[in-house]
Amino acid sequence: MARTVLTYGTFDLFHVGHLRLLQRARALGDRLVVAVSTDEFNALKGKRCIIPYEQRAEIVENIKGVDRVIPEHTWEQKVDDIRAHHVDVFVMGDDWRGKFDALKAHCEVVYLDRTQDISTTDLKQRLKQVISVGSDQVKQMIEILQQLKADLD
């Protein structure tokens, strides 16, 4: 019987931390089911995604080793998902360590080390810095052009 692994996540601005989590989760079994948080559920988690659910799900389901993507609508659906997909192992990054131990009544629970120095939050911060530098340069250009126009008047 195939050993099924299940994990959950937002996977916004997909990066190597997400990839390595999925690779290591898949290596714990023969098939991997990934529940991707919907935009509505992310609002509940207090997260605002850059990439909409449909695209996040499309990226994840095309990652090698991912066999099935399902939507994550609520915190409470995990036990139903475990039963519906005959899950043997539930996996999360260790930022969630201990949070899902109740699922040990239904399947193995494994927390994997997060990949260091990469996160969606960090990527957003770096993007903001690039944008703010750009907008400062645009402001300087506008001042130069306004001064030039004043000189020509």
Residue 21's φ and ψ, nearest 5 degrees, are -65, -45
Q: Based on the shown chain and the rule CB under 6 A, indicate whether residue 17 belongs to the binding site for ligand C2G.
A: yes
Give CA–CA dist 45/40, Å, rounded. 9
Q: Based on the shown chain and the rule CB under 6 A, indicate whether residue 77 belongs to the binding site for ligand C2G.
A: no
When binding is defined by CB under 6 A, the residue of 6, 21, 34, 107 that contacts ligand C2G is 21
Could you give the residue ranges of the DSSP H alpha helices within 29-119? 39-44, 53-61, 78-84
Q: Based on the shown chain and the rule CB under 6 A, indicate whether residue 118 belongs to the binding site for ligand C2G.
A: yes
Q: Based on the shown chain and the rule CB under 6 A, indicate whether residue 90 belongs to the binding site for ligand C2G.
A: no
Decide whether 86 or 111 has the Cβ nearer to ligand C2G: 111
Q: Based on the shown chain and the rule CB under 6 A, indicate whether residue 29 belongs to the binding site for ligand C2G.
A: no
What order do you get walking across the sheet with 4-9 strand by strand?
A: 68-72, 31-37, 4-9, 89-93, 108-112
Task: List residues near ligand C2G by CB under 6 A.
Answer: 8-11, 17-18, 21, 37, 72, 92-93, 95, 114-115, 118-119
